[in-house]
Amino acid sequence: MSNKRVLSGIQPTGNLHLGNYLGAIKNFVAMQNEFQCFFMLADLHALTIKTQPKILNESILNTAASFLAAGIDIKKNIIFCQSKVSAHTELSWILNCIARVGWLSRMTQFKEKAGSNKEKASVGLYTYPILMSADILIYKATHVPVGDDQKQHLELCRDIAMKFNSDYNNDYFVIPEPIIPKYASRVMSLRDGRKKMSKSEESDLSRINLTDSKDQIVQKIKKAKTDNDPISENIFSENSTRYEAQNLIKIYSNLKSESLDTVLNDFNGKTFSDFKKNLSELLVEKIQPISKKIKQYRSEDKELINVINTGSEKANHTAEKTILDIKKIVGLL
C-alpha cells in the first residue's frame, strides 16, 4: 500500500452542489486508486451553525449517499463519520493549545460566515479550522483535496503541524499538501458571478444540486445570469468583469476535461443562449447518473448506515494509534 494518504471531508449541511462536486468530490474519485483515502462526513463541523437534529441526520445520509453515487469505492477507501472517531476531538484540544489566537483571527471564512455579528457566532465556528487540522493530522494525511475556499484552513493546518513538530522537537506530523483543481476550484453562484456557489445561499436557482432533475438543471442554466456579449477571448482578459461568463465557461471546461482555450475556441463568436444548451446537456449527462444513484442509496438506509459504521471502525483503528503517540509525545500518561 502506498504511504501517500488522502483525507478530506464535507459538511453534511443542505444539498451538495456542483461546487462541492467539481471542487472536491470529483477529485476524491480521481485520487482513490492511487492513494489510501479517508473520506469524512464532517458532522461535528455541521454543528457550528444552528441546525435541526432531523435535518442534520438526513444530511449525513444524503452526503454519504452522494459519496457513493459519485463513485467512491468502499472496497478500497473509507467513508466515515467524524463524530464516530473520538480521537479527532481529543487531538483538536491538543492543537487548540498549539495554534495561536492571531492565526485564527485571520481566517476569512469565519469573518464571512459570522457576518457583522461576530459576538453572536458560536465559539465552534471560530475554532473550526483547528478541528479541521485535527481531522487531517490524525491520519497523517499527505494530500488533502479541497476547493479554493479551504486553502487558508490548509495553510493553518500546515502551520499547526510545523509548530507542534518544532515545540516537541520531532517530525511526527506529516505536513499535508492541498490538492486544488486547476479549473473550477471556486464555482460561483449562477445568479451572481462574484459570490461562491453555496449550500446556504437562499435562492436554489443559484446552484445545481447533485439531486436536481434534468428539468431543474435545464431551467437553472436557462435562468443563469450572463451578459449580452458573444463568447470571445476577452472573457478572461485581465480587466474583464464578465464574472458570470467566466464561471459558466470554467464549469463547462472542467466537466468536459478541456482547457479554457479549447472551449473559447469552440464557442468563439457564439451567444450564451447557444452555449447554455451545450452546458445543460453536459450537466445533465454528468449529474443525472449521480442523482439517480443518490436516490437508490437513500432507499436502502440500513446499508448506508452499515457503510458508515464499518468505515468509522476502520478510521478509529488508525486514529487511535496516532492519539496514543501524541499523548506520549506531549507527556500525558
Confirm whether 113 is a catalytic residue.
yes
292 is catalytic: no
| Cα(244)–Cα(182) distance, integer angstroms | 18
Catalytic residue among 199, 225, 256, 314: 199
36 scored as a contact of ligand TYM (CB under 6 A): no
Residue 286 binding ligand TYM, by CB under 6 A: no
For 43, the enclosing helix (H) or strand (E) is: helix 43-46
Return the residue of 26, 140, 158, 196 that touches ligand TYM, per CB under 6 A: 196
**Residue closer to ligand TYM, measured from CB, 23 or 311:** 23
Assess 224 for contact with ligand TYM (CB under 6 A): no
Among residues 28, 36, 39, 45, the one that binds ligand TYM under rule CB under 6 A: 45
Q: Give the shortest CB-179-to-ligand TYM separation in angstroms.
A: 10
| Residue 37 binding ligand TYM, by CB under 6 A | no
Q: How far apart are CA 113 and CA 120, in angstroms?
A: 11
- Could you tell me where the beta strands, DSSP code E, fall in 24-95? 36-41, 78-81
Cβ 186 vs Cβ 148: under 8 Å: yes
According to the binding rule CB under 6 A, does residue 42 interact with ligand TYM?
A: yes
Q: How far is the CB of 80 from ligand TYM (least distance, A)?
A: 12
Q: Give the C-alpha distances (Å, rounded to integers) separating 19 from 119, 179, 310.
A: 29, 15, 28
135 binds ligand TYM (CB under 6 A): yes
Reported residue count of the chain is: 333
Give me the least distance between CB of 144 and ligand TYM, in Å please: 5
Candidate list 4, 84, 113, 293, residue with the active-site label: 113
Among 6, 9, 138, 315, binds ligand TYM (CB under 6 A): 9
DSSP assignment letter at 205 = G
42 or 263: CB nearest ligand TYM: 42
* Count of residues engaged in binding ligand TYM, rule: CB under 6 A: 25
Q: Is 9 helix (H, G, I), strand (E, B) or coil?
A: strand
Binding to ligand TYM (CB under 6 A): which residues in 176-195? 185-187
Closest of 196, 250, 151, 256 to residue 20, by C-alpha: 196
For residues 252 and 263, give the distance between their C-alpha atoms in angstroms, rounded to a whole number: 8
Residue tagged 463524530 (cell numbers): 83
Handedness of CA 184, 189, 195, 199 (dihedral sign): negative
Interatomic CA distance for residues 200 and 55, integer angstroms:
14
What 3-state class would DSSP assign to 49? coil
Q: Which residue in 59, 142, 150, 209 binds ligand TYM (CB under 6 A)? A: 150
Our answer to whether residue 256 is catalytic in this structure is no
Contact flag: residue 147 with ligand TYM (CB under 6 A): yes
Any idea which residues carry the catalytic annotation? 113, 196, 199
- Binding footprint of ligand TYM on the chain (CB under 6 A): 7-11, 19-20, 22-24, 42, 45, 132, 135-136, 144, 146-147, 149-150, 185-187, 196-197
